[in-house]
Structure 1
Amino acid sequence: MKVIVVLVLLAIGVFLFRRAQRLAKEEQDAMMAQRTTEKTVAESASKAAEVNEAKSVEPAPSPEMDTVKEVEAELMPRESESQPSVDISDDIIEVDVETTKTEAEVEFQTTPVSVDVVAVEEVTPAPAIVASAPSVSHVIEAPGLWANDTLNQIFSSYQQATFAVERYNAVQNLIAECYKQRKTPDYLHYGANLSSQYLALFHDVSAEAELKTTGFMHLATLLNDTHAFDKAIALCKQALALGLTDGTVTGFEGRINRIEKAQAKAAAV
């Protein structure tokens, strides 16, 4: 029984203690809020007082401003007490003024300026380098559908060539490609038919530039294989007369002998 009484008293004591703490905290919060409100009101009042004081204060007139006002007053036009009125009569006396020339007047003389015309010598423009068009003897036919890409490209470079040297090199390359493919009849006959164009181009440009002459050897073989023996022999003799060589031991002389043997053999058949 005593234990129960003690527990009840403890519970009552704890309850009272907590209640006292809660009341004290609420009172403290109320006091803090009141102080904050009073402080805000005081600050607002002080700011309003400062603004009123700033508006009420006017700058005192300085002696410099007084001096400026006096100067402005002196500069202002003063009204005269009485201004005499001028009556203009209707009668105006006309005065003839004679205009005489004085010595100070400057006479402007127009001095004629002689212009020397310098004769301009006619300048003859330097002759422009004009690309030569291929002559009739240089024109070659395009290869047929049998031609490979290499031959077609070489022929295209021949068509686009603007100078005789370029055309000569292109024709020599055409002959070289036909020489490689001479086992095919189309290449064999096409290359052999280029002999006249090749020789014409060679004689045109041989005096202007140093040329490669492999075309003579290739053409001699192509003409021999197409049984154009006389043309092949004539070509070799022309190469000998020009002092050319085909790179072999016997040269064009030995090639002529071989062509003549082939010609004799073909005639015997």
Structure 2
Amino acid sequence: MKIVALILLVLVGVFLYNRAKRLANEEQQPRRDSSEDGNTMTSAPKVSDTNEIEAEKAAVPVSSETVEEIVDKKALQSEADEAAVVAAPQSVEVEPATEAASVEADTDADVSAKTEAVCEIETLVGVVAREEAAEKARAGLALPDFAGEVLTRAVSDYNGSSTAELKHQSLLIAINECYKQRKDAGHLAYGASLAQHYAKLAIEVLGMGKPLKGIGFMQLATLQTDNGEFNSAIELCRQALEHGLSDGTVTGFEGRIARIEKARDKAAG
């Protein structure tokens, strides 16, 4: 817009320059006498030219004001456009921020809901597991079909006992019977399966301050070794060592662990 205004001003200046030059040339021409008293008057065309000059001079400021007004209007319009351009990105930036905040809030809500759901599932799983364990404890030991008189009585006494000490005595009798009959596959597998019940019960009895020998751990370790459960047998021996028990042999449970490891390695080939 500034360039347009400058061009208009240059055109006006050229026009005025040419007009002034033409008038100066006309004034240099010889003047005519218009009256007898020797007064010289300019011809009618010169008066007309003067009027035209005055009119042009009067018109020039108007054109200048018009140009200035146009320039001002264009400048104001340009400033308004620039303000609109500057303001537009701000409004665009606000919306993504709002949407991002909304998405983040939704994500946090989803994560919180999922976490609560997982906690509830884990709680339910724990409750179910405890109920199953309690149910198994109430049900007691299952009596195998091949059980003889001694094993049948021992399992029955175990299931009917109300104290840990009585249960321990009954379970020790059942383990001893399976140990004697370990050549039979049924007695061997059943006796090995009693290891978990016995280990927990023996530790509970020890916690009560009752004296305990390591014969139950020793017989169960033998049953599990013969049944191919080498790692479980080693773990039983280590539990017995942790509680200061002995298997009644010279090398003790340490030597038994070494023998079980050797048998394991041999079985692995």
TM-score, normalization by structure 2: 0.48
Larger Rg: 1
- More helix, by proportion: 2
TM-score, normalization by structure 1: 0.48
